[in-house]
Structure 1
Amino acid sequence: MTPDQKFARYVKVSLVGFIVVFFYYIVADVWLPVTPQARVYHPVVQISPQINGRVTDVLVSNNQTVKAGDVLFEIDKNTYQLALEQAQLALDDAKLQNKRLDTNVKALEAQISAANAKLHEQQLLKKRGETLYKQNSISEQELESIRANFAASQSNLAAFEAQLAEAVLARGDSGQDNLALRHAANQLAQAELNLSYTQVRALSDGVVANLQLLEGSYAVAGKPLLAVVAKKADLVADFREKSLLNMQPGSLAKVVFDSRPGEVFDAKIEIFEAGVSDGQLSANGLLSTTETSNRWVRDAQRQRIHLVLPNNNQLINNMPSGARATVQLLPQSAIGQWLGTVQIRFISWLHYIY
């Protein structure tokens, strides 16, 4: 065979190989989809203080494992201890003020009793005076004086009753339903709560990450000072939309992690994500923005799926957040599952190289 014939054979073999690979890629992209765009994500809890103050003590170190409720750092409590004492004083003062009001109510009730007795006396004098006046035993002037004393007694009684009504209103309900006591108790509870906030605690189990906090730093309420990476993890993978045409929740998959070359793990699709950021519209008062592209064939849109490892779920929980993976989805047919397993097994071996 001449060199030209050999070269022609190589060209034909290469063309045939290219065509076979091209058609395999087209078919596999729909029936045996695979993606290297997969990651392990851990929820990250940003730890923010709920009060302002100087950090007095940092009780954890970077990459330390913590449990929910563990104290991470402490804020100067002197100001909040004083506020608690002030709130307790306000509650005691409210109780003392209620006792004063109770005494005032009792005093007014006694005065009303005396005023009622005086009014009764004046009423009897008025009747007697009117009788004596009819008998011409007293003058009209004396009768008018008696009537004036009776009216004064009525007015005096009405004044005491009004003062009593005002005192009862100021006193309010008795016991713990009293408004002044409730206000003071609420302020005391808020002061106790603020004092408890001087100890900033972990909200979930996890690992402290990116700790830059030092003693003496000033903590501002609502501003994150450190992060806790939760132990629970989520494996997500991004596929082209057409690659998910024949897949549904529960479909089988194979996963290879970059950190575990040569190992293939069984998985299945747990759920399809509802959307991606490209599909989110913002009602910002502006007109809509159209998509523009100068490419004849635009980039394919990717959609995200979530996967679980039924037999190795703890594996991803122990992996760092952001760990990369390759996901192979499997069709329902037995031959398709065999081809998909061979394909992902080949990829797992490649992870020894790259």
Structure 2
Amino acid sequence: MTPDQKFARYVRLSLVGFILVFLYYVIADIWLPVTPQARVYHPVVQISPQISGRVTKVLVSNNQPVKAGDILFEIDQSTYLLAVEQAKLTLDDAKLQNKRLDTNVKALEAQISAAKAKQHEQSLLKSRGEKLYKQNSISEQELESIRANFAASKSNVAAFEAQLAEAVLARGTSGEDNLALRHGANQLAQAELNLSYTQVRALSDGVVANLQLLDGAYALSGQPLLAIVAKKADLVADFREKSLLNMHPGSLAKVVFDSCPGEVYDAKISTFEAGVSDGQLSANGLLSTTETSNRWVRDAQRQRIHLQLLKNDQALIANMPSGARATVQLLPESKFGQWLGASQIRFISWLHYIY
């Protein structure tokens, strides 16, 4: 065989190999989809103080495991202790004011009793004066004077009753339902709540991450100062949309982690993501923006799925760092396809020893 014939044979074999590989890629992308775009994500809780103040003590270190309720750092309490004392004084002042109002009410009730007694006396004098006037025993001027005294006694009773009503209204209800006491108790509760916020605690179990906080730093309310990476983990993978054509929740999968080369783990699809950020429209009052691309064949859209490891391997990813990379192989329902997919992901797992 001449060199030209050998070269022609190599070209034909290369073309046949390329066509076979291309056909396998097209078929496998639909029936045996695989993606290296998979990660382990942990929920990250940003820790922000609910009050402002100088940080007096940082009680944790970077990458330290913490439990929910553990104190992370403390804020200067002096201002908030004073606020608690001021609220207590306000509450005590409200109690004292209520006692003064109670005394005032009792004094007005006594004055009303005296005024009513005086009114009764003037009523008797008025009746006696009218009888004497009919008997011509007193003059009309004396009768008018008696009537005027009776009217004045009535007005005096009405004035004291009005003052009593105002005093009762100012006093309010008795007991803990009193408005002034409720205001004072509310201020005290708010001050004590703010005082409790001087100890910033972990809200969930996890690991302290990216701790840059030092004693003496000034903490602002609502500004994150550190993060806690929760133990709960989620394995997600991004596939082209057409690769998920024959997949559904519950479909089997194989997973290889970059941190565990040569190890293949069984998994299943738990859920499909509801959408991607490119598909989110916001009501911003602007007209819609059309997509523009100069490429003849645009990039394929990827869809995210969530996976769950089987055989109690979920604890494995719980101990992995957030962002750990993985490769996911989805399996069809046919036995041959599952065997072929398992072989393909096994080959990829061996390659993880190299790259």
TM-score normalised over the length of structure 2: 0.99
2:30 partner letter: V
2:131 and 2:346 mapped to 1: Cα distance? 124
CA distance in structure 2 between the aligned counterparts of 1:149 and 1:253, rounded to whole angstroms: 104
Letter in 1 for 2:351: L
Distance 2:229 2:19 in 1: 48
Alignment of 1:95-134 (within 5 A): 95-134=95-134
Matched pairs, number: 354
SS at match of 2:306: strand
Give the AA of the match of 1:28. A
- Alpha-carbon separation, structure 2, partners of 1:342 and 1:310: 19
SS in 2 for 1:327: strand
**Cα deviations by residue, 1:261-315 (Å, 9 ceiling, x for unpaired):** 0000000011011100000112111111000001111000001111111220000
Q: Distance in 2 between matches of 1:87 and 1:22?
A: 78
Q: What amino acid maps onto 1:229 in structure 2?
A: V
Q: Give per-residue Cα distances to partners, 1:205-261, cap 9 Å, x unaligned.
A: 000000000111000000000000001010000010111111111111000000000
Distance across 2 between alignment mates of 1:343 and 1:152: 110
What letter matches 2:48 in structure 1?
S
| Aligned pairs for 1:247-266 within 5 A | 247-266=247-266
Alignment-derived partner of residue 89 in structure 1: 89
Is the partner of 1:215 in helix, strand or coil? coil
What's the counterpart of residue 145 of structure 1?
A: 145
**Structure-2 residue corresponding to 1:314:** 315
Structure 1 position 15 matched with structure 2 position 7: no
Partner secondary structure for residue 263 of structure 2: coil
The answer to whether 1:58 aligns with 2:58 is yes
Q: Distance in 2 between matches of 1:57 and 1:137?
A: 96
Tell me the distance in 1 between the aligned counterparts of 2:137 and 2:25.
Answer: 132
User: Residue type of the partner of 1:41?
Assistant: Y
Residue of structure 2 in register with 1:348 after alignment: 349
Deviation at residue 134 of structure 1 after TM alignment: 0.8
Alpha-carbon shift at residue 12 of structure 1 (Å): 1.1
**Equivalent position amino acid for 1:109 in 2:** E
Distance 2:151 2:141 in 1: 15
Counterpart of 1:217 in structure 2 is 217
CA deviation profile, 1:54-83 (whole Å, cap 9, x unmatched): 000000000000000000000000000000
- Aligned to 2:173, the other structure's residue is in SS state coil
Q: Which runs of 5+ in 1 are unaligned?
A: none
Unaligned 5+ residue runs, structure 2?
none
Partner residue, 2:332: 331
| Structure 2 letter corresponding to 1:324 | R
The alpha carbon displacement at 1:139 in A equals 0.6
Listed one character per residue, the Cα deviations across residues 98-132 of structure 1 (whole Å, up to 9, x for unaligned) are 11111111111111111111111111111111111
- What are the Cα deviations for residues 142-199 of structure 1, in whole angstroms up to 9, with x where unaligned? 1111111111111100001001100110011110100000000000000000000000
2: distance between equivalents of 1:155 and 1:310?
Answer: 91
Deviations 1:14-71 (A, max 9, x none): 1111111111111111111111000000000000000010000000000000000000
Q: Classify the secondary structure of the residue corresponding to 2:97.
A: helix
Match of 1:25, SS? Answer: helix
Instruction: Answer with 34-43 or 3-12: which moved more.
Output: 3-12
Structure 2 Cα separation of the partners of residues 302 and 217 of structure 1: 44
Q: Give the aligned partner of residue 173 of structure 2.
A: 173
Q: Secondary structure at the match of 1:68?
A: coil
What is residue 228 of structure 1 aligned with on the other side? 228
- Taking the aligned partners of 2:176 and 2:142, their CA distance within structure 1 comes to 55
Q: Secondary structure at the match of 1:321?
A: coil
Give the whole-Å Cα distance in 1 for the aligned partners of 2:281 and 2:214. Answer: 41
Q: CA deviation at 1:8?
A: 1.3
Measured in 2, the distance between the counterparts of 1:337 and 1:139 equals 127
In structure 2, the partner of 1:241 is 241
The alignment's C-alpha RMSD in Å is 0.6
Partner secondary structure for residue 254 of structure 1: strand
Moved over 2 A (4+): none
SS, match of residue 281 in structure 1: coil
Partner of residue 136, structure 1: 136
